[in-house]
Amino acid sequence: MAFAALTTPKLPTLLRMSELYAPTLREDPVDAEIASHRLLVRAAMIRKVAAGVYSFLPLGMRVLAKVEAIVAEEMAAIGSQEMRMSVIQPAELWHESGRWDDYGPELMRLEDRHGHSFALAPTHEELITALIRNELRSYRELPKSLYHFSNKYRDEIRPRFGLLRAREFIMKDAYSFHVDQASLQEHYEQQARAYGRICERLGLTYFPVEADSGQIGGKVTIEFMALAEAGEAELVYCDCGYAANTEVAEVNVRAESYAGETLREIHTPIEGSIASLAKFLSIPESQTVKALAGCDLDGRIVVLFIPGDHELGPIKALRAVEGFELLTDEEMEAAGLARGYLGPVDLPGGVRIIADRALQSVPHWLVGANREQYHLSGARPGRDFEVDAWVDLTTAQSGDRCPLCGRDLKMARGIEVGQVFQLGTKYSESMGAQYMDEEGNEKPFVMGCYGWGVTRCLAAVVEQYNDEDGIFWPVSVAPAEVCVVPLAVGDNEVVQLAERLAGELAAAGVEVVIDDRDERAGVKFADADLIGWPYQLVIGKRGLAAGEVELKTRENNEKQSLPLEQSVDSLVALIAARREAYA
Ligand code: ATP
Ligand code: MG
């Protein structure tokens, strides 16, 4: 992948297919599982270098430049200043923040000839904090917001899906510095609104969702999710406006009691799974309670209980129990826990019980009896066993209810294109970045950071704008707006007319490409459809005789005839209106 592009590009407005380096492909790349990966490669936008590493060809570069220009405009509109930081970062900075170890194998590391260690930036909190800590000094200079476009490097465990999960990718990341939470909140909201506008200008159907802050730190955060089946994120949303990543969504889970109030042992000669238990008793899985044994950071054993028809949310488990890890079968045996028949009554001493909030409204549980082939019904918290903590533990799923309005939630898949975080003082404290307040006291900066996946969002757009023939770019990010297609290159009249119309469109400021190659009509149409120019202006001999040209709108593949002499004016007006729609 080339280094990040200029953010205020001057793109040529008349391109020639005969000159353009755009080697389109008829075959799908063998490793491509999703549309954006297939089509970006076939449409000659990107080429693979290594797993998760891509180069951009001229057409992809034009799209990239437009995306960056939109992002840059929105950053300028909220007063964030562009800069550029280095990708190679001294290990010392990462030791200061503690992330040299915390980041794990995703951090790409290298050594220079003198044996000094460096990280290839996966993100820039460390570098920017070090950059400002001795030079941004007074409350009078705050707040400040700075951003850059740069390559990021993450040694993802599973690089795949082309630009969606790459190991080298371009991010726009902004960082802000404040005297207090109120000032941070204000800029955070501006950034979130800017992200909404960026999504709209890119034509993305999206949701801002509640999320987890992961490696970056901080507590308050929103992810911007472009809806797409190919997305790796799962979200729940409601017509009332609530939306959250299923990993963290604090939804209302329906859980039910199983018949019987007295504690009773049931013989269950089955393989110990929730599905087989529900089948054996002919009850829904929601009437069962699932137990998961794990240990905390210090190796102390804890058993988590959740409604039987739900899954444990790994992020929620980690929030509830520091360093939570599930026990292996051997570890369970060693700890004297009955695999498949685990329950809360009479657990070995010292084992903590943590239960999902939803179970608080379930007076009697159907659980394992802590012995092979037996379950207990009517197990009552507070009477038959004690729960050490009630917390939110499950991954949200269909059938759960909205925490705001109580209606049933809907599920969708999404691509995380951006995320905004309130970092607070995590980095300013660990790295000693302070400013002087009005009374002359040293105070740590209150910080925010705001990441936007520039290359990933390009793939997200293609996921939402493709059909079986190729891409149909929104005008805002198309590599050019109109493709003029002369059908008979041997025919002087057709060629001259095509050149004249293309020239007039370009002179009016429309971005035009003319397919002046000596190719069959079928080849030109296939390429135009694949690359995804929003409009094709087709000039053929027959139309010419009738004084007409044909306009194809790629979005819906509809064709209309335009009177030749009005075609340029109509198209200029149409493009102006389309641009306006994405402005
Ligand atoms: P994910 O959860 O998808 O791994 P993340 O939460 O780790 O992403 P952030 O640290 O929030 O990512 O980075 C900001 C933005 O950078 C993301 O919203 C995403 O658009 C982009 N991004 C992150 N990882 C990748 C990647 N491997 N390839 C392409 N873009 C990425
Ligand atoms: Mg993220």
Torsion angle of C-alpha atoms 350, 354, 355, 357, degrees rounded to 10: 150
For residue 163, the ligand 1 atom closest to its alpha carbon is 29
Distance 416 CA to ligand 1 centre (A): 7
So what's the pLDDT on residue 214?
A: 72
| Count of beta carbons in the 10 Å neighbourhood of residue 336 | 12
Ligand 1 atom at minimum distance from 416 CA: 18
**Which pair of structure tokens corresponds to residue 87?**
């990708």
Task: Quote the CA–CA distance of 257 and 249 in Å, as a whole number.
Answer: 23
CB of 416 shorter than 6 A to ligand 1: yes
pLDDT of 85 over the 70 cut:
yes
Q: Which amino acid is at 491?
A: D
- The C-alpha atoms of residue 525 and residue 531 are separated, in whole angstroms, by 10
Q: Has residue 4 got a pLDDT over 70?
A: no
In the chain, list all ranges with CATH 3.90.960.10.
264-391
Q: Which two tokens stand for residue 108?
A: 């790409």
CATH 3.40.50.800 location in the chain: 14-24+480-581
109-167 residue pLDDT tens: 999 999 999 999 999 999 999 999 989 999 999 999 999 999 999 999 999 999 999 99
* Angle formed at CA 409 by CA 406 and CA 411, multiple of 5 degrees: 170
What is the CATH code for 264-391?
A: 3.90.960.10
Of the listed ligands, the closest to the CA of 121 is 1
pLDDT for the residue numbered 10: 64
Arithmetic mean of pLDDT, 375-379: 95
User: Which of 456, 458, 461, 463 maximizes ligand 1 atoms within 8 Å of its Cβ, making it the mutation to test the pocket?
Assistant: 456
Question: Which DSSP string do the residues of 200-261 spell out, in sequence order?
Answer: HHTT--EEEEE---GGG--SEEEEEEEE-TT-SEEEEE-TTS-EEETTT--PBPP--PPS-S
The alpha carbon of 295 and the centre of ligand 2 are apart by a number of angstroms equal to: 27
Q: Say how many Å lie between the CA of residue 456 and the centre of ligand 1.
A: 8
Q: Which ligand is closest in space to the CA of residue 416?
A: 1
- Full DSSP string of 33-52: -SHHHHHHHHTTSEEEEETT
Please name the amino acid found at residue 188.
Y
What mean pLDDT comes out for the span 421-431? 95
CA of 295 to the centre of ligand 1 (A): 29
Nearest to residue 120, comparing CAs of 149, 98, 91, 96? 91
Q: Is 214 in the pocket of ligand 1 (CB under 6 A)?
A: yes
CB-CB neighbours of 222 under 10 Å: 25
> Does pLDDT of 5 surpass 50?
no
Q: Which of 216, 419, 455, 461, when mutated, tests ligand 1's pocket best, judged by the most ligand atoms within 8 Å of its CB?
A: 419
**pLDDT of residue 34 exceeding 50:** yes
Q: 123 alpha carbon to ligand 2 midpoint, in Å?
A: 11
Ligand 1 in contact with 381 (CB < 6 A)?
no
| pLDDT tens per residue, range 166-212 | 999 999 999 999 999 999 999 999 999 999 999 999 999 999 998 88
Distance 452 CA to ligand 2 centre (A): 9
What's the burial of 439, exposed, middle or buried (CB within 10 Å: 0-12/13-18/19+)?
Answer: exposed
- What is the rounded average pLDDT of the residues 246-260? 88
Atom of ligand 1 nearest to the CA of 216: 10
- Ligand 1 atom closest to the Cα of residue 169 is 29
The minimum-distance atom of ligand 1 relative to the CA of 224 is: 18
User: Residues 326-354: pLDDT tens digits?
Assistant: 999 999 999 999 888 999 999 998 999 99
User: Where does 35-250+410-463 sit in CATH, by number?
Assistant: 3.30.930.10
Q: How far does residue 223's CA lie from ligand 2's centre (Å)?
A: 7
Average pLDDT over the chain, rounded to an integer? 94
The residue whose CA is least distant from atom 26 of ligand 1 is 165
Residue pair 11/64 in contact (Cβ under 8 Å)? The answer is no
Residues 250 and 246: their CA atoms lie apart, in Å, by: 9
List of residues 6+ apart from 315 with CB closer than 8 A: 212, 247, 248
Regarding the beta carbon of 171 and ligand 1, being less than 6 Å apart is answered: yes
What span, in angstroms and rounded, lies between the C-alpha atoms of 115 and 98? 20
Whether the pLDDT of residue 7 is over 50: the answer is no
Task: State if residue 172 touches ligand 1 by the CB under 6 angstroms criterion.
Answer: no
CB atoms within 10 A of CB 381: 19
Between 250 and 161, the higher pLDDT residue: 161
What is the pLDDT, as a whole number, of residue 254? 87
Cα–Cα distance measured from residue 280 to residue 263, given in angstroms and rounded to the nearest whole number: 19
pLDDT of 330: 93
Instruction: Summarize the confidence of residues 17-27 as an average pLDDT.
Output: 97
Q: In this predicted structure, what is the pLDDT of residue 256? A: 87
* Separation between Cα atoms, residue 541 and residue 42, nearest integer Å: 30
Nearest atom within ligand 1 for CA of residue 123:
10
pLDDT of residue 3: 41
Question: Which among 311, 308, 315, 123 is positioned nearest to 210, based on CA atoms?
Answer: 315
**20's tokens:** 């353009």
CA of 154, closest atom in ligand 1 = 27
For ligand 1, say whether the CB of 450 is within 6 Å of any of its atoms.
no
Exposure b/e, 82-116, CB count within 10 A at least 16 = b: eeebebebbbebbebbebbeebeeebbeeeeeeee
Percent of the chain with pLDDT over 90: 90
Distance CA 470, CA 424 (A): 44
pLDDT tops 70 at residue 19: yes
CA nearest neighbour of 152 among 89, 238, 240? 89
Query: Quick check: 207 and 218 in contact, CB under 8 A?
Result: no
**Distance (Å, rounded) from C-alpha 5 to C-alpha 68?**
8
Closest C-alpha residue for ligand 1 atom 22: 453
| Cβ-contact 36, 466 below 8 angstroms | yes
CA–CA separation, 242 and 312 (whole Å): 22
- Summarize the confidence of residues 59-78 as an average pLDDT: 96
Residues with CB under 5 A from ligand 2 (ion): 419
Residues in a beta bridge with 482: 512, 535
Tell which one of 150, 160, 171 to mutate to probe ligand 1, the residue whose CB is within 8 A of the most ligand atoms.
171
Element (H, E) at 413: strand 410-424
Nearest atom, ligand 1, residue 457 CA: 20
Query: 14-24+480-581 belongs to which homologous superfamily?
Result: Anticodon-binding domain (3.40.50.800)
pLDDT tens-place string over residues 473-528: 999 999 999 999 999 877 889 999 999 999 999 999 999 999 999 999 999 999 99
Contact 171, 454 (CB under 8 A): yes
78 contacts 198 by C-beta, under 8 angstroms: no
Q: Are 269 and 373 in contact (CB under 8 A)?
A: yes
The length of the chain, given as a count of residues: 583
When pLDDT is averaged across residues 369-385 and rounded to a whole number, the result is 95
Location of structure tokens 């002179």:
507
Total-model pTM: 0.90
On whether the CB atoms of residues 465 and 532 are closer than 8 A, the answer is: yes
The letter for the amino acid at 578 is R
Longest Cα–Cα distance of the chain, Å, equals 94
Contact 123, 451 (CB under 8 A): yes
Peptide bond into 159 cis (omega under 30): no
Ligand 2 center–CA 215 separation, angstroms: 9
| Token pair listed for 513 | 């490409």
